[in-house]
Amino acid sequence: MAPLPAHIDPHEIEKTLNKMFSPEWLRDTAAKVGYVQRSRKIDPATLFWILVLGFGVGMQRTLASLRRAYETAAAETLVPSAFYYRFNKGLIDFLKECLAHGITDLASHTSLTLSDKLQGFKDIIVADGTVIKLHDKLAKQFPGARHKAELKLHTAIGLTGNTKSIGLFSGNTAEIKTIRIGPWLKDHILLFDLGYFKYELFSRIRKNEGYFVSRLKTTANPTIVSVLRTYRGNAIDLAGKKLQDALSLLKREVIDVLVEVSFKGSASRPKKTEGDTFEVYHPKNGTPKTNETFRLVGIFDKESNAYHLYLTSLSPEQLPAEDVALLYRARWSIELVFKELKRLYKLDVISSGAPDIVESLVLVAMLTLVVSHRVLNQIRLLAPEKSQRFTPLRWGESFYSAAPFVMTRTLKYAGIDEDPVMLLLYFMGESVDPNVNRKRLLSPWVQANSQGLSSINDIFGK
């Protein structure tokens, strides 16, 4: 393997992570939210990195395994109940603060930029959600749509490495009620699937000076207002026709038209602050419908012998019709994020029936994702000539395999280093059967060789 260039610090990764989440910030934040009141055996800084990076290959996120990981790293022996007690609402508040802080830091260290095709835009945001099946005991807190208990995780992630928002909802919450619309959307392009299809939502995106691309519902039948692309010969005049009527008449490979849609809306709708969850507004009876025009793009697919139709607020000058369809494919990137969360960071392996534990571990999985992408951004900045070749799943698998090693180096860089003596005492404490009088298989046949062990017994206790 070639040596590192002279300008690269060999401690780049642990330095980056300690700058992102310094021990002082972690401890101060834990105290600020009331997670810790005074110094105890459990150090918030150590616990944070154990939760975020302390999983071994194939290890499920059980509390017992996390406790052992903490004891190994901190060289502390903990009573199981004391560790389990730490998974409470205070930890949830602490992890939420950490997640908000991590997202902000990630957004300020992007390693990719949009291509020349998208000059003038800040980022492409892909919005989607995934459902996690939970223990049936949580049916009241997280009622599901397909199973008794489910949790829906909604994310809006920027393709240049800028994560915008993360939200947790019960599994039966409609997608349209999970998306957040506000001034932050200005000069951003939002991509989403049909679960978010709502004309009023599209209108609000436009009012916030943002843009969108969505697949068109098969039942939608807007009126064509005008044609945006000219065609040779005696082209069919589409103006005034309903879309479904026009499709059967067309043979062109590309459709690029303006369409008029109508929806129930009202100028008297209550104002929402930035970041509020979008909810469909149902006006009172008698309120007139609102009409608005959007661009409709259709690309003929020879295999299915049908058009793939997209609705967008992007103009032909901003993006040609063929590129609109191509851009929508970028929505697949969020599916790769969900694969990384579930397959690698065990988001869907949470067996607990305690709501505080479940929410804590979901937040931990999201923090692992944020930390992983922060390291990815740093690696891309160090090797810009290879930046596009760091594919999401390949990176995720590499980071997952190296996470315990990254955790050890990060803790050591923070001044949190294991004590060999304490590590020895950890093994002697954790591995001893607490049932003193239990009869064991080999007891009649073996006995301890106690030579030279008196000093250890004095320290640890017989």
Higher pLDDT pick, 63 / 462: 63
Is the pLDDT reported for residue 35 higher than 50?
yes
pLDDT, mean of residues 324-346 = 88
Distance CA 411, CA 248 (A): 65
Q: Within 10 Å of residue 380's Cβ, how many Cβ atoms?
A: 21
CA-nearest of 216, 214, 121, 136 to 171 is: 136
pLDDT in tens, 270-309: 444 444 444 444 555 555 688 999 999 999 998 888 999 9
Of residues 300, 306, 304, 269, the one with CA closest to residue 284:
269
* Residue 123 C-alpha from the chain's centroid: 17
User: Domain-by-domain residue ranges, the chain?
Assistant: 12-110+354-413
Distance CA(453)–CA(431), nearest Å, equals: 17
Q: In this model, does residue 224 exceed pLDDT 60?
A: yes
Q: Is the pLDDT of residue 253 over 80?
A: yes
Residue with tokens 């419908």, as numbered in its chain = 289
User: What's CA 325's distance to the chain center, in Å?
Assistant: 25
Helices (H) and strands (E) in the chain, counts: 14, 9
- What pLDDT is stored for residue 161 in this prediction? 62
Select from 275, 311, 327, 384 the least CA-distant residue to 123: 327
Q: How does pLDDT run across 81-125, given as a tens digit for each residue? A: 878 888 999 999 999 999 999 988 988 888 888 889 998 999 999
> Residue 266 is encoded by which pair of tokens?
């009202």
Q: Give the gyration radius of the chain's Cα atoms.
A: 28
Q: Which of 27, 59, 57 is nearest to 43 (CA)?
A: 27
The H or E element containing residue 50 is helix 44-53
Distance CA 299, CA 315 (A): 16
Read off the pTM.
0.78
Percent of the chain residues past pLDDT 70, beyond the cut = 81
Q: DSSP string of 330-390?
A: GGHHHHHHHHIIIIIT-TT------HHHHHHHHHHHHHHHHHHHHHHHHHHHH-GGGGGG-
Mean pLDDT of the chain: 83
CB neighbourhood size of 110 (10 A): 17
CB atoms within 10 A of CB 76: 20
Give the pLDDT of residue 273.
43
